[in-house]
Structure 1
């Protein structure tokens, strides 16, 4: 008989069986995509700072604060003079900004010799070839793992959807998520400490993790869907499939005579900025310059919203051919324009970038501890998986080491494949060590120490090379990145330094 004076026990929202089933699915999904998610989150944490890395790669590039329309025209004309005029399909000028004080000229033609980008001086003359091999490598690794476009994009897209499912299932598998938000058990079993760390980081960063997971899944599905549409409707032409969002291209004029004059950019800039106060000119481009069908594009930057970029396209007579007009588009199309800056943190300056980088590393920590919890649980139950433990240690600390090694060869050579070779060397070496059974207890520590040494060595070597060229000519951002590398090396090595000190100070028996 029920005691009427005893308070009724509240029935839990989810039964234990249901929670166990969700947790099992959460674990299985994590095991399937853990390595890919970890690598994508790790590279994404670095790609947030891609502008800073580009300045770090070429610290002696000429600094330009602002340029006039006349200087833009001089630069675009100089690009056309560098190669056969009829071979140039498009030229563009990216104007300097506070985040990137460089004037960059780019040309695209039928041959690689006359294609590429150059830093220009204050007069608009190209003076240095742009070489962002490390930055481009990291971006490619994050977007498609440097696999063929169809394969790499699908894998990354599936990993994004898996990440979203992991975040949601992690919430559902933890009914006490709010109550346990500040519960951190330390000093007990390793599995409980890891589980608490995994859950607390996941809880504290939950809004960010949801945004990252959603935008990653959205971008993955969008690119997969767009690739399918391009393959079936546009004969595989991704540019044509994007034309509704970015504007049409000047097609059919590749072999046409280039006898028409290229109109000055001042009138087009004035027309594009008229009626849009607060917008700044970001780029000027010309498709099929000198041809009858040439078109002039003006890229505008809007710092007041998430869709940061507007595009306007004109014909050579000044008639408006296309305008992105993001604010006038449907909500779904506005979301497409906003997803990329929201995903990478390119909308709020340095503080937002720093927050994105740290929170991205927290996602790496969640992924690392999630698999470690599963491995520790197996060991506690008498079913250890030593090979998987070594492979996971090679992933967790082998990838930061490999990414650092990807940057080192770029200091000595301009070969485009140097970053890929450095990364592949580090990755293969880490997994080769994981195949050695006696490395079970020390693999993670050795790889962690090697990562700290590589980070510090990269920073010191880069700073020494910059100092040798003259301190006054070096971009201050280069010193900031070197300092960040040294600080990261310190935090990577700090737990080992504490352990070493404790070992040395321990009293002998």
Structure 2
């Protein structure tokens, strides 16, 4: 009796957690599929800025020259961030805004790191891929949209766990992998739903869990700033933002940061007064050289006036978890083979979600699906 009651409880959890999140998970799977290949699609569409080919060993200009070239395009703006692509040190992307405060009003200028030539002003939030990205990340609703999708991700994890619990009693009467094609369409889709659900189990849990972590990115970064970063910059409390005219050369600050963390490369630089730094520092976020450390960022705080390193804090565990979750969510760890695997599993998950919705819509039939299948049903379909 207790076992039957527990099974009904798990069945109820699976049905309602699945129903509530299914439409949103379908949206995320559909929008996420092209985002797995966003770099490749950008290259095909010509929207990716690429540095022109030059002989190996071509010397690079100073960071100050690159910043000057970008600011010449928008002299009325200030530099908030600069970054380099993960696969190239031949480009600088410089973000310019009206003030150092967070804003959606920005211009990104791509500068050749060897010649100082401005190669374009890409808009990462425009176009078809930009729309897909915003839908996937926050439903065009900012932080509330991210947190809502995080809640849907938690329901997905509940649906996966409860589906696993229900799978064993369902499979007692048929062999693993059986799809009864000779029976009704409902029964065929039920078998396919269960088979693909088990096949994609680990992937669905990993992508769902990393997606939940990613939706909390803004809150985790804000907590880090209020906690660890606030302690590090406490000696500078009460001082105004160091104006550009009083700052040491940016290249000198970059050299100091790289010397403090040898064997690393620049991911991005947050300038004084911006959201990822303090009013008195450049904060260099450096990536490692190995497949694992290339996903982890080491912050290095450099005094804006003296270009001396003042702190190099180890990222807390929750930021490390976030940084590892972001590329894993889109399959960015193993090159094209892993992206193709991610795409196949994404398509299989779309079938799982769609078939689950179909089975629920077909629940009111003369003969219940449970009677037709001759076994206990995941999700409590009737």
* 1:126 aligns to 2:118 (yes or no): yes
2:212 is the alignment partner of 1:217: yes
Structure 1 residue 76 corresponds to structure 2 residue 67:
yes
Q: 1:95 touches 1:283 (CA, 8 Å); kept in 2?
A: no
What is the CA distance between 1:146 and its match in structure 2? 0.9
Q: CA RMSD in A?
A: 3.9
* Superposition deviation, residue 89 in structure 1: 4.8
Alignment match of 2:345 (pick from 359, 366, 369): 359
For residues 102-122 of structure 1, give each alpha carbon's deviation from its aligned partner in whole angstroms, at most 9, with x where no partner exists: 542322333999831122234
CA distance in 1, matches of 2:116, 2:307: 24
Query: Aligned ranges for residues 386-405 of structure 1 at < 5 Å?
Result: none
Partner of 2:23: 35
Give 1:163 deviation, angstroms.
0.4
Tell me what 1:341 maps to. Answer: 327
Asked if the contact 2:61/2:115 (under 8 Å) is kept, the reply is no
Structure 2: distance between partners of 1:123 and 1:281? 19
Taking CA–CA contacts closer than 8 Å with sequence separation of 6 or more, which of the two structures ends up with the larger relative contact order? Answer: 2
Partner of 1:172: 165
Query: How far is 1:153 from its partner?
Result: 2.2
Deviation at 1:164, TM superposition (A): 0.4
Question: Is the Cα–Cα contact under 8 Å of residues 167 and 213 in structure 1 kept in the other structure?
Answer: no
1:165 offset after TM fit, Å? Answer: 0.5
Sort the Cα spacing of 1:83 and 1:214 in 2 relative to 1 into closer, same or farther, 3 A.
closer
User: Offset of 1:261 from its aligned partner?
Assistant: 5.1
SS at match of 2:246: coil
Aligned residue for 1:97, secondary structure, equals: coil
CA 101–138 in structure 1, closer or farther in 2 if over 3 Å, else same: farther
Conserved? CA contact 2:179–2:188, under 8 Å:
yes
Residue 370 (structure 1) shift: 0.5
- Contact 1:105/1:126, CA 8 A, preserved across alignment: no
Q: Deviations over 1:136-176 (max 9, x none)?
A: 322211121112532x1232011011100000111111125
Q: 1:154 aligns with which of 125, 143, 147?
A: 147
2-structure distance, mates of 1:324, 1:162: 35
TM-score (norm 1): 0.59
Alignment of 1:188-337 (within 5 A): 188-220=183-215, 222=216, 240-241=225-226, 244=229, 257-260=243-246, 262-265=248-251, 268-269=254-255, 271-272=257-258, 276-277=262-263, 279-287=264-272, 295-302=281-288, 303-305=290-292, 307-316=295-304, 317-326=306-315, 329=316, 331-337=317-323
CA contact (8 A) 2:256 2:308 kept: no
Q: Distance in 2 between matches of 1:373 and 1:40?
A: 21
Extract unaligned runs of 5+ from structure 1.
Answer: 1-11, 231-237, 384-509
* Structure 2 CA distance for aligned equivalents of residues 127 and 300 of structure 1: 24
| Contact residue 29 and residue 346 of structure 2 kept, 8 A | yes
Q: Counterparts in 2 of 1:351-500, with a 5 A limit?
A: 351-381=337-367
**Which has the higher mean CA deviation after the structures are superposed, 195-204 or 297-306?**
297-306
Q: Secondary structure at the match of 1:304?
A: coil
With structure 2 as the length reference, what TM-score do the two structures score? 0.76
Alignment partner of 2:341: what SS? helix
In structure 1, C-alpha distance between the alignment counterparts of 2:224 and 2:130, rounded to whole Å: 20
Kept after mapping to 1: 8 A contact 2:42/2:48: no
Q: 1:263 Cα deviation (Å)? A: 1.0
**Structure 1: how far apart are the matches of 2:18 and 2:105?**
46
Distance 1:22 1:166 in 2: 9
User: Equivalents in 2 of 1:259, 1:225: separation in Å?
Assistant: 33
Q: What SS is found at the alignment partner of 2:110?
A: strand
1:29-83 deviation digits (Å, cap 9, x = unpaired): 2222211121122222332333334434434734246885525332111223333
Match of 1:407 in 2: none
How far apart are residue 123 of structure 1 and its match? Answer: 1.1
- 1:286, CA displacement in angstroms? 3.4
2:11 alignment partner, one of 8, 23, 41? 23
Write 1 or 2 for the structure with the bigger share of helix.
1
| 3-state SS of 1:313 partner | strand
Pairwise CA distance, 1:367: 0.8
After TM superposition, the structure 1 stretch with the greater mean CA deviation from structure 2, 40-49 or 303-312, is 303-312
Is there any run of 5+ residues in structure 2 with no aligned partner, and where? 370-382
**Distance in 1 between the 2:139 and 2:104 partners?**
27
Count of aligned residue pairs for this structure pair: 351
Check conservation: 1:72, 1:93, Cα contact below 8 A: no
Measured at CA, do residues 61 and 157 of structure 1 come closer, stay the same or move farther in structure 2, by a change above 3 Å? closer
